[in-house]
Structure 1
Amino acid sequence: MLVGGEVPVDSAFPEEAGAPFGGEDLKRLSRALADSLAGTAGIDAPAALCRACVDLLDVTGASVSLSGDTEAQMVWWSSDPVAAQLAETQYTLGDGPCQTALALAAPVLAADLTGGADARRWPVFAQQAVALGVRAVFSLPLQAAGLAVGTLDLYRDRPGPLSERDRSFAFPAADAVTTALLVLQAQEPPGVEAAWLEAAESDHEEVHQATGMIMVLLDLNPQQALARLRAHAFTQGQSVTEAAREVLAGRVRFDD
């Protein structure tokens, strides 16, 4: 299932505009993925695959976000500061293509955030994304056992859908990233949190701590407490991480 509006656009491969990969193309795809992993340590494999997406697809940047559920999201890798900020914006708002892809466990292709159906679906996110110079976002779930454990998020600095040919690369690349992450997890001893996952979670440890403080103070459940933190971040023009630091420093109390 694909979610999100799309409009015609010139393909990144003008000689075969919109054409899907054929047999020989798929062989080149496999070689490209293999080459991206050549000499790469296991811990770096997902990032290498993402870099291959940026190099070979008609996109501007990419990121990988990991999630235990639709409320907790950690940016594990990003190709550039805009990709990282785009992921943080969605985490702060609790809304956007990435959040929708996690909730539906389905690809969400937002081809034009400057107007139309995509801008109306996520109006606040679309406004902030455009302010970052982002015009299109394509979020592909990283699925394991029928559940989305994260997303591969591709963005472009101009509107337009992914061509059929780009989809033919991006979708198996997302599967390859998922496999690489699962292999990393399987290599960890039982009962020990994977080092790479712990590193990703450390970026949002302050959010978890601040959410816990709000839960105790206002007698809320985790979802309600995070919603209060997000609302405060939005009204103050902050990221949710910045708002969490304010709470932990005692500058925001939520006792009113």
Structure 2
Amino acid sequence: MDPVHPDDLPSGGGGPLPQDGEEGRLHSVFSGAVDGVASHDVPAALCRACVDLMDVTGASVSLSGEDPDIRTLWWSSDEVAGRLAEAQYTLGDGPCVTALTHLAPVLAADLTRGPDAARWPVFSQQAVELGVRAVFSLPLNHSAVAIGTLDLYRDRTGPLTESDRSFAFPAADAITTALLALQAQDSGDGLGASWLDEAETDHEEVHQATGMIMVHLGVDPHHALARLRAYAFSHGQTVTEAAFDVIAGRIRFRD
């Protein structure tokens, strides 16, 4: 896996620390974004605030379960953001994968050429075909464990401004806190159910198809998932679509 690029990390190795006045402004913005919002909708409301208040085109949040290879799209601002997340899941590569692996922000300002495009050549090509020119992935991490990523994209090249960076990093922290609170919430209506469990079960078809490939080929889970991803990529499918075909018997892997 590619190491984190030095340009990804703000000075000091973490997000920009807001000054006293800036901290008050952020608190006001975040409070306004979630005012009157039900607890289970708070993370999505904070994502929408990112799109509304930052110079980005769209955003999404992808969650990770216990298996780092299995991720699920929890929320996206638009279809392109959703397809961008699915592309990274299918390829097993991209800015969000690097951010999860290294627990560090990945700020790819130009996917059309240069170092950013070279880091993830296949993903970059697919992103550009979707109209995406820049992607900024921030890990949602707690106690040195990544629970997902906040992924921002823009339809033109260019880095995040200092103002946007000073908003994005606290926003990722706020989304992490909201998701952890949601996980811990004990409500009779089921809204406090563990979204980490959902991250495991949302791609149940991928789990099932991977198991079938393991039996057919006599390989381990990671090899089986790699074969499924390779098939999906070579046939222009998402890994979820390919998994459905395996389960339905339309695809059968043989050694």
- The two structures have a TM-score, normalised by structure 1, of 0.88
How do 1:79-228 residues align onto structure 2 when only pairs under 5 Å count?
A: 79-188=77-186, 194=193, 196-199=195-198, 201-228=200-227
* Counterpart selection for 2:54 from 53, 57, 72: 57
Aligned partners of 1:139 and 1:219: how far apart in 2? 36
Which one is further off, 122-131 or 193-202? 193-202
Kindly indicate whether residue 28 of structure 2 is the aligned counterpart of residue 31 of structure 1.
Answer: yes
1:211 offset after TM fit, Å?
0.8
Q: Identity across aligned pairs (percent)?
A: 66
For the Cα contact (< 8 Å) 1:112–1:159, is it kept in 2? yes
- Give the secondary structure class of the aligned counterpart of 1:254: coil
Q: Any idea what SS the aligned residue of 1:138 has?
A: strand
Deviation of 1:240 (Å): 0.4
Equivalent residue for 1:3? 5
Alignment RMSD? 2.2
CA distance in 2 between partners of 1:158 and 1:105 (Å): 26
What CA deviation, in whole Å up to 9, does each residue of 1:38-92 have, x standing for no partner?
A: 1111111100110111111110000000012431110000000000000000000
Q: Give unpaired runs (5+ residues) of structure 2.
A: 9-15
Give distance in 2, aligned partners of 1:4 and 1:212. Answer: 38
Query: Which amino acid in the other structure matches residue 130 of structure 1?
Result: V
Partner of 1:253: 252
Deviation at 1:3, TM superposition (A): 3.3
Alpha-carbon separation, structure 2, partners of 1:70 and 1:112? 27
String of CA shifts for 1:197-249, please: whole Å, max 9, x gaps.
55555542211111111112212211111100000001101100111011011
1:16 equivalent in structure 2? none
Amino acid at match of 2:25: R
Deviation at 1:161, TM superposition (A): 0.6
* SS of structure 2 residue aligned to 1:255: coil
Structure 1, unpaired ranges of 5+: 7-18
Cα separation, partners in 2 of 1:4 and 1:71, compared to 1, 3 Å: farther
Is 1:70–1:99's contact at 8 Å kept on the other side of the alignment?
Answer: no
Number of residues of Structure 1 aligned to a counterpart in Structure 2: 242
